[in-house]
Amino acid sequence: MYLLATLVGSLLLDSIVRPRPIRGRHGLGVALHLLVVTATFGLFLTLAGNAAVAAVLGCALMALFTVASNAKYKMLGEPLVFTDLALLAAVVRHPRFYFTAISVRQRVLMAFGAAAALVALISLISLEASPHVTGAVMLLAASGGLWLMLREGALGDAMRVPDLERDLLRFGLIATLVSYWRRWRDTADPPPCPPRAATAPAAPELIVIVQCESFVDPVEIGGDASLALPGLTRARVGAWQHGDLAVSGFGAYTMRTEYGVLFGRSEAELGFRRYDPFLTAHGETTLALPARLGAAGYRGIFVHPHDLGFYGRDRLMPAIGFDRVIGEDGFAPIPPGAGRYVDDRTLGAKLGDLAETAEAPTLLYAVTMENHGPWDAGRVPGSPGGLDAYLQHARSSDTMLSDLVERLAADGRPALLVFFGDHRPSIPGVSMPGGARHTPYVMMRFAAGGVPMRGPGRIDLTPDELHHAVLRSVL
């Protein structure tokens, strides 16, 4: 009886996951859903020995997945995906990054629900052996059925190629989560990339790549030509190459763009790894930009003024060939009232100093933090928040771009400057999912003496294509 109620309740919750299905779910999706929920019910029954508690906890867990997926879809235009579960530790360390997607009311309800569930579990645990044994049998049986359905070849052609929204509509949230996880596990690493020496004529001695947080041309989201950023405008005019960067994420998922530029693999090549390619990047280290440039004689320095444990950068960046990794400890403490993060002008000055003191061919790759959301009222003194707060930070990023152009030109050595936005900001009423996702990029090349070089001009790229554009300047 309690199991049946849990199954029915979970199916009802699945039916309100956004985007909502017009027709019923595919039979395969329903079967996978029922097996997962039965296994979950069996787990809770094994632990508590109380069917009512198991039913409440099972439905509560499904409700949590539903709320999280709908909140994410509203803010980022993408439902919950299996790789999001790998970010749970980051949610604990950096709650502001994630909980802004969930309303205060939803957060309060979730907190009360979690507290009530914990109290119920503790007070209603049964010491009688029979229900615990029954739960264990249910858990093993449902897990066995799930293993049989997910084993290699059993899914057939279902969800063979990632199409998250379509598959969620057809199969449901839980079935999509477990099936995508299985497909992801079956994905093999690419073959190693052989080293190559620098062969390009007039290869740059300095390569500075700046991945700018939430950076977009304000004209495109504000609809007002007066919002144009002067540094970006000048950089486009003098660029070797510039255009739109077709990033996959909206409002988040920095690591998708970062991976594309660093590793040069397209979403089609990644398959199910595309949702969080950093999770499997340790098997692809020879493809990375610092590894390939390192084989050509370049020293690599990675700079990110934030917690390097985020996305595992503290382990990944040295593994892919960066000789030096600089995190938030490499910057002075942020003074009171100066914002949450190290500002972009300070980061730009740091990059300029590193370039100036570089004695060997050097790759500098920086990931900025200043313009990370949310852009709520009070973030910038005197600002109402929203677009106004965003623009103040974007102007700081633009100043950083101008400063780097001036410093590399003044340095006099052959140099390449690459500047791009990792994704658009998610600002309610201003920049929302469902529209354009592209961000700007510019590539500026300087010949000896700091003379800007002209190249092909405007070319729209994907992040992986930007990776290869950088490589072509050297290899």
pLDDT digits (tens, 9 = 90+) for 455-471: 999 999 999 999 999 99
- Is residue 303 predicted with pLDDT exceeding 90? yes
pLDDT at 215: 97
The least confident of 153-162, 231-240, 285-294, 416-425 is 153-162
Interval 129-136 mean pLDDT: 90
Dihedral pair phi/psi, residue 457, rounded to 5°:
90, -135
Are residues 166 and 220 part of one domain?
no
Are residues 298 and 215 part of one domain?
yes
Is residue 126 included in any domain, yes or no? yes
Final residue belonging to a domain, choices 152, 185, 218: 185
Are residues 447 and 309 part of one domain?
yes
- CA 372/CA 340 separation, integer angstroms: 9
- CA 441/CA 422 separation, integer angstroms: 10
Is residue 194 included in any domain, yes or no? no
Is residue 190 included in any domain, yes or no? no
Final residue belonging to a domain, choices 185, 220, 251: 185
Is residue 168 included in any domain, yes or no? yes
Are residues 317 and 178 part of one domain?
no
pLDDT at 92: 60
Is residue 198 included in any domain, yes or no? no
- Is residue 99 predicted with pLDDT exceeding 80? no
Pairing of the two strands 299-303 and 362-367: parallel
More confident residue, 128 or 444: 444
Maximum pairwise Cα distance, the chain: 83
Final residue belonging to a domain, choices 150, 185, 220: 185
Are residues 107 and 236 part of one domain?
no
- Is residue 216 predicted with pLDDT exceeding 60? yes
Is residue 229 included in any domain, yes or no? yes
Percent of the chain with pLDDT over 70: 95
H helix intervals, 49-128: 51-76, 88-93, 96-99, 104-124
The count of structural domains within the chain is 2
- pLDDT winner (highest mean) among 163-177, 323-337, 425-439: 163-177
Is residue 343 included in any domain, yes or no? yes
Interval 425-446 mean pLDDT: 92
Helix 173-185 vs helix 2-15: crossing angle, to nearest 10:
80
Tell me the pTM: 0.92
Are residues 246 and 172 part of one domain?
no
- Please check whether residue 196 is in contact with residue 97, taking contact to mean a CB–CB distance below 8 angstroms: no
Interval 281-294 mean pLDDT: 97
Are residues 85 and 165 part of one domain?
yes
- Which domain range does residue 252 map to? 206-472
Are residues 297 and 162 part of one domain?
no
| Amino acid sitting at position 366 | A
Are residues 241 and 122 part of one domain?
no
Is residue 201 included in any domain, yes or no? no
Are residues 124 and 170 part of one domain?
yes
CB-count burial class (<10 Å; 0-12, 13-18, 19+) for 409:
middle
Are residues 116 and 55 part of one domain?
yes
CATH number of the domain to which 218 belongs = 3.40.720.10
Are residues 238 and 178 part of one domain?
no
Interval 330-357 mean pLDDT: 92
